[in-house]
Amino acid sequence: MTEAGAAGPPQHELLAPAAVAAMLAFAGLPLYIHAPRYYADEIGVGLATLGVVLLGARALDSLQDPLIGHLADRLPLRRETWVLASGALLCIGFALLFAPPDWGEPVPRLAAGLIAAFTGFSALQIALLDHGLAQATAAGGGHTQIALWREAGGLAGICLAAAAPSVLELSLGSAFAYSGYAVAFAAMTFIALGGMRSRWLASGGSLPSAGFVPALRAPGVKPLLAFGFVNTLPTAVTSTLVLFFLADILEAEAHGGPVLLAFFAAAAFAAPCWARLAAGIGRKAALASGMALSIPVFVWAHVLGPGDIAAFYVIAAASGAALGADMTLAPAMLAASIRGGGGQVFALWTFLQKSALALAAGVALPLLDLAGYEPGVPSDQGRMALSAAYALVPCTLKLAALPMLLFLINERTKR
């Protein structure tokens, strides 16, 4: 049966996983985008120190993902307990990370909060991806449909996350806005995981048991994993630097929330379009089209300067639309290639995605510090370095990822 012809699971079975994806996205945006800016500006942690802590925490997070995936495949009958414990750990880490600025020493608190939050986040993300694989296996297909619903939920959560800090800052003040966010996130976690009660599936229960190495031997899995890592690097760099770029290149710091909202709303609206295009021309061709769209967008961003906020909204919308293809089609292509050991393969997928985020923060921020960039009071040299890091480096990385997709990956259309 072809993917296009597979019925897939009924839509009512996709709503609850979409809510969990929304909850994870609601957590992910502050963890990966706002945390560096919060600790640099509100708490005063230096860029070099911040980069080292982020690199260490994200590296540890990446290294533990294969272990989490191994445990996920070995404990399919205890998935409910696994998920609840992971959700609790994520909430605890989130509360530590975004406690008010004067609560404890910032660097140890940052490290502990990141490690706890990343661990809970990873376990939930792997469980959600594996649940989708089990759904598709039971239904005889529907990977793109499942990925579309999951990513649509995630993008809805991101849009909420983009708007929430501005709303909370108006009501609570800048110092306590993220503390309020942590409380809102805990409530969202309770609702989302409650909606999935007794529904969690594991691919290990319906697919042949496979070890980590045999799982990688499925045709097309290793090239897709390598491509996914390189293709994530551009987004990892821009997500780390976007708030710095807005503040010190465009001099439009107040537009941070609306710009992020425009970016992720565009991704949400574009994702169904990419799925429909993939049904017609194939996932590989549709994904290549989305990647090609992002390249001139990065170049355009490099020529912007103070006051060019209107142009940046257009850039945010265009790059968000391109991201919709990455988020929807790449995981669907990977899922279609897996034969057993789904939790372990998805663990390696998240390991590589997070390694990209770790490199982006751990390398870009210290290098910007060496180049003379200082947040809030940048020199001309610092602005040039920030602009190049935000726009030209991602452009180069995307140009490296596109040939990998075109020449190394053979799309698998059957399940």
Model confidence at 47, pLDDT cuts 50, 70, 90, reads: confident
pLDDT value at residue 322: 93
Check which CATH number belongs to the domain holding 366 and give it: 1.20.1250.20
Residue 314 tokens read as 């257009």
Q: Within a domain: residue 191? A: yes
Contact predicate 349/227, CB 8 Å: no
pLDDT at 289 over 90: yes
pLDDT digits (tens, 9 = 90+) for 198-233: 777 776 543 344 455 665 666 678 888 899 999 999
What was the pLDDT predicted at 132?
Answer: 82
Q: Is residue 69 part of a domain?
A: yes
H-only helix segments in 338-409: 342-370, 380-387, 393-408
Phi and psi for 103 in degrees, rounded to 5?
-95, 95
pLDDT band at 396 (very low <50, low <70, confident <90, very high): very high
pLDDT digits over 325-362, tens only? 998 888 888 877 776 556 667 767 877 887 887 788 77
Report which of residues 277 and 339 the model is more confident about. 277
Residue 321's pLDDT is: 93
In a domain, 413, yes or no: no
Strands (E) located in 197-310: none
List, for residues 75-108, the tens digit of each pLDDT value: 655 777 888 889 999 999 988 888 877 787 888 9
Is 301 exposed, middle or buried, given 0-12, 13-18 or 19+ CB atoms closer than 10 A? Answer: buried
* pLDDT for 330: 87
Question: What pLDDT sits at residue 337?
Answer: 75
Residue 302 has pLDDT above 70, yes or no: yes
Residue 4 counted as domain residue:
no
Hey, what are 145's tokens? 């449909």
Q: Which two tokens stand for residue 329?
A: 């089609």
Judged against a pLDDT cut of 60, whether residue 414 lies above it is answered with no
Number of domains in the chain: 1
pLDDT in tens, 121-138: 988 888 888 788 788 777
| 27-41, 180-194, 364-378: least confidently modelled range | 27-41
Does residue 93 lie within any of the structural domains?
A: yes
| Continuous H helices in 282-337 | 283-302, 309-337
CA distances from 300 to 243, 253, 379 (A): 17, 19, 22
pTM for the predicted model, two decimal places: 0.70
Is 407's pLDDT higher than 70?
yes
Mean pLDDT, range 384-404, rounded to an integer:
94
Look up the domain containing 147 and give its range: 12-408
The answer, yes or no, to whether residue 6 has pLDDT greater than 60, is: no
* Helix (H/G/I), strand (E/B), else coil: 2: strand
- Residue 7 CA to residue 9 CA, distance in Å, equals 7
- Cα separation values, 87 from 60, 180, 385, Å: 19, 18, 39
**What tokens were used for 303?**
């020529």
Note whether residue 241 is domain-resident: yes
pLDDT 10s digits, 164-176: 777 777 776 665 6
The whole-chain average pLDDT of the chain stands at 82
Q: Would residue 313 count as lying in a domain?
A: yes
**Confidence category of residue 63, pLDDT binned at 50, 70, 90:** confident
H or E element that contains 49: helix 47-74
Does the residue 2 lie in any domain? Answer: no
